Amino acid sequence: MGPRRGSAFRPATTEILISVEDDGPGIPEDQFDAVFEPFTRLESSRSQETGGVGLGLAIARTVVRAHGGDIRLENGVGGGLKAVISLPLPHRSAG
């Protein structure tokens, strides 16, 4: 399942939020932290033929944190998974 919806918005002057959602089955909340570990795949059906080695979320979190942000996961009410990335905005000087 690939991303189905995405959005970006700035709820405050200090950060921007980027949201990416899919319409898959979601994942158990107790696995949210585990899926950010390298080579973690929750679907036992995944193989070299079906794709994925469990690096995508690990790389995403590393990149986001290198830019001073964070990434969190949420299950959708009607299914699917949402990844929310928060990134700090650069400080602007008055003038």
Any idea what the Cα angle at residue 34 is, between residues 74 and 8, rounded to 5°? 35
Kindly report the pTM of this predicted structure: 0.77
Q: Token digits for 3?
A: 């991303």
pLDDT in tens, 19-69: 999 988 889 999 999 999 999 888 755 555 666 788 999 999 999 999 999
SS3 61: helix
CA distance 68 to 61: 11
- Residue 14: pLDDT over 90: no
- Residue 79: pLDDT over 80: yes
- Whether the Cβ atoms of residue 18 and residue 87 lie closer than 8 Å to each other: yes
Domains and CATH numbers, the chain: 5-88 (3.30.565.10)
Give residue 94's pLDDT. Answer: 58
CA distance 28 to 75: 8
